Structure 1
Amino acid sequence: MPLYIPRENTGYLGGAVPTLVLVSTDPVEKLPVFQLDAGRPLPCDGWCILAGLTASVVDGPDDAGIFVDGMTSPEEAEERFAWLEAVDRAGGAVVLVVDSHSTVDDWAALAAGGKAQGGFVPAVQRTG
């Protein structure tokens, strides 16, 4: 069953590898525990992301998935376009599901904690 994440529980982080941070106390079915290999997030096999302005979908195996609210105002457009371009350049994004609104800039700590779920999720290529 897909999980719904409202905008207030969503964060979009830029950088070399864009990151989508989702806050949920409910675990996401079939999304792996967040782990690193040589400092890089492991891929989430069977998952893909369709990132958009007004909504994003992180689709998993079978019925697993996450529907994410997108922009709520036109003032967010420039920042969101930059994030979407970063997703296109990287070929995907790191998707992190955490249980609180704390900082997520230390991937090693998140992986060591064993509570975060996610990893690198390849993007669905948009056409047109």
Structure 2
Amino acid sequence: MLLSPEKTLFIRGTVPVLLLSDAPVHALLPVLAAPDGAVPRCDGWSIVARLTLCVVDGPGEAGLVVPAMAAPVIDGTGGTPEMANWCADSEQAGGAVVLSLDELPEELDWAHLLGSGTARGGFVPSLP
């Protein structure tokens, strides 16, 4: 299923993050419980991050495609907020943290996102 790039936010970092809003896979992802900041792995899910498309694939028919080139990217590393850099971060980390929310936050409050019980997702490994 195609997810509009306006409903995503790619965040660069040592472990990059992909925030999703109003995603069709929201209910299929596990409820995120990471109050200590340790994000659990999303078993059965994988990610393929490319410059033009980002595919998040889940068990069975679950999954989505994001037109990555048109999606917003912000930088948490002090570098350049470009999709190519986010993809490189994802490759180096072996995946990305994928968080599904009802709506994208206006401000990033990691403690709230990881401990509120409203986010779903976790660390999603890259396909080998």
TM-score range, shorter chain: 0.7 to 0.9
Q: 2:16 aligns with which of 18, 35, 38?
A: 18
Q: Which runs of 5+ in 1 are unaligned?
A: none
**Deviation of 1:13 (Å):** 0.3
**Deviation of 1:111 (Å):** 3.1
The one-letter code of the counterpart of 1:44 is C
Please name the residue that 2:90 is paired with.
87
> Secondary structure of the residue that 1:84 maps to in structure 2?
helix
Distance in 2 separating the partners of 1:35 and 1:104: 20
Evaluate the alpha carbon distance shift between residue 100 and residue 109 of structure 1 in structure 2; reply closer, same or farther with a 3 A threshold. Answer: same
> Secondary structure of the residue that 1:35 maps to in structure 2?
coil
Please name the residue that 1:114 is paired with.
117
Q: Structure 1 stretches (4+) deviating beyond 2 angstroms? A: 25-30, 103-108
Distance in 1 separating the partners of 2:23 and 2:64: 14
Distance in 1 separating the partners of 2:107 and 2:47: 20
In the superposition, the TM-score normalised over structure 1's length comes to: 0.81
Q: Which runs of 5+ in 2 are unaligned?
A: 72-80
The one-letter code of the counterpart of 1:71 is M
**Deviation of 1:38 (Å):** 4.0
Moved more, 97-106 or 112-121: 97-106
Percent of aligned pairs with the same residue?
41
In the superposition, the TM-score normalised over structure 2's length comes to: 0.81
**Deviation of 1:40 (Å):** 1.6
Distance in 2 separating the partners of 1:54 and 1:9: 16
After superposition, what is the alpha-carbon deviation per residue over 1:82-125, rounded to whole angstroms, capped at 9, x for unaligned?
10110011000000111112146333312332111110000113
Please name the residue that 1:56 is paired with.
54
Structure 2 contact 54–65 (Cα < 8 Å) conserved: yes
Task: State whether structure 2 residue 29 is matched by structure 1 residue 31.
Answer: yes
Task: State whether structure 2 residue 103 is matched by structure 1 residue 100.
Answer: yes
